[in-house]
Amino acid sequence: MQWQGAAFEGDRAALATLAAAGAKVVRVYSESSVWVLDEAQRLGLKVVMGLWVGHPRLGFRLDDAEAVRRQEQSIRDFVLRNKAHPALLAWGVGNEVELGQADPLPAWREVDRLAGIVKALDPAHATMMTVSDNSDENLRRLADCCKRADILGINVYAGSLFEILPRLRAAGISRPVVIAEFGPIGQWQAGRKPWGAPVEPTSSEKAAYFRDALAFLGRQAGVMGAFPFLWGAKLEQTETWHGLLLADGSLTAMTDALSAAWGRPVSEPAPSIRGIGIAADEFAPRQEISAGVDAVSFDGSPLQTEWKVLTESVGRRPDSDYEPPPVRIAVRFLHQDAASARFVAPERPGAYRLYMTIRDRNGKVATANLPFLVR
């Protein structure tokens, strides 16, 4: 693969750890991350610079001529200001603009129009439009659309990653392909508890996915680049589902897996989780709850586990990217150590999660959580 790196959302320290892990390219999503260009130049990284294109599902009106004009002008100005930056590798024009639309073509055509404008302003850099993998029908629609974008970026999760290339070929798509996002099973794909809470893989399970996925992609001649999602911390369903780092910048088994794939295997990896469990799925208010984790450090040295209970996420509305943060619940712990915890269930009925963050002597972490219901 020519483009080896990750999708990024974080601070300067996180960008530095990405470079140290062996990445060569970083993908950012919008003009608000323009600072990454200068910092990437200092770190020896190249940047796929995102140009944000308004989403109809979030209220952008494609039939509002003035809004369309303002967006185009903003993109023109940004490209002209930054096209000569030495860290610039390519322009990422839009990201999943079609989400929530029964017919994706109007949104895609606007992205394609803007990609043509960007290319005219800056012929020296490729343009990439990025779409979600949501159906073979949409891929077929895409084959006859949007020829002004040089590269097709596609965001794909879980096992679909291993099937996407033949599906693209079957749909008639022949242009260069970048896996613009990928990761283990998403919350929209995962198995669910009876009350609807999705079950998140542990950090060790996610690391195994990234290891296998990157090995697979490395063998695919038709993939120009691949960006694991997401180098940084991200709240989406849980505090840990998609973030490859913790909010404090701590490295994980997932970052170890990426570093190994990028040619820099680590000698002291993050803790490994072999199993997790909770006494039951449902509890009465104030009932005693016990839970445990089987985790080991790379050298057998002691681990420390932080246990905490949060409310279950209410998720996002279809017309918003804002997700209200889950609330931490001050439960009474009767016992807690590196391997087990006992605590008193919350008084208020509802859906909760028990989070466990296992840290080794180097500060690397393993993460897992267990949803439970109080009724």
pLDDT of 1 strictly over 80: no
**Are residues 286 and 214 part of one domain?**
no
**Are residues 185 and 90 part of one domain?**
yes
Nearest Cα to Cα of residue 292 among 205, 243, 303? 303
**Are residues 334 and 282 part of one domain?**
yes
Residue 266 lies in a domain: no
Domain boundary among the residues 261, 287, 318 is at: 261
**Are residues 295 and 240 part of one domain?**
no
pLDDT band with cut points at 50, 70 and 90 for residue 119: very high
Q: What is the mean pLDDT of residues 87-110?
A: 97
Q: What is the mean pLDDT of residues 345-352?
A: 98
- Number of Cβ within 10 Å of residue 307's Cβ equals 19
**Are residues 99 and 31 part of one domain?**
yes
Residue pLDDT, tens place only, 125-179: 999 999 999 899 999 999 989 999 999 999 999 999 999 999 999 999 999 999 9
pLDDT band with cut points at 50, 70 and 90 for residue 328: very high
Domain boundary among the residues 240, 261, 282 is at: 261
**Are residues 298 and 235 part of one domain?**
no
**Residue owning tokens 């290891």:** 211
Count of structural domains, the chain: 2
Task: Give residues with Cβ within 8 angstroms of 23, minimum separation 6.
Answer: 4, 5, 6, 45, 231, 258, 262
Residue pLDDT, tens place only, 41-61: 999 999 999 999 999 999 999
**Are residues 244 and 303 part of one domain?**
no
Residue pLDDT, tens place only, 184-231: 999 999 999 999 999 999 999 999 999 999 999 999 988 999 999 999
**Are residues 286 and 215 part of one domain?**
no
Domain holding 299, by residue range, is 272-374
pLDDT band with cut points at 50, 70 and 90 for residue 317: confident
**Are residues 187 and 144 part of one domain?**
yes
pLDDT band with cut points at 50, 70 and 90 for residue 275: very high
pLDDT of 320 strictly over 90: no
pTM of full prediction above 0.75: yes
* CB-CB contact of 353 with 238 (8 Å): yes
pLDDT band with cut points at 50, 70 and 90 for residue 375: very high
pLDDT at residue number 89: 98
pLDDT at residue number 129: 98
Output the average pLDDT for the chain: 97
Task: Evaluate the CA torsion angle 215, 11, 50, 66 in order and state its sign.
Answer: positive
pLDDT of 311 strictly over 80: yes
pLDDT at residue number 318: 82
pLDDT at residue number 171: 96
The CATH number of the domain holding residue 331 is 2.60.40.10
**Are residues 245 and 164 part of one domain?**
yes
Task: Evaluate the CA torsion angle 312, 316, 317, 322 in order and state its sign.
Answer: positive
Q: How far is CA 198 from CA 11, 74, 121, 192, 244, in A?
A: 29, 39, 45, 4, 19
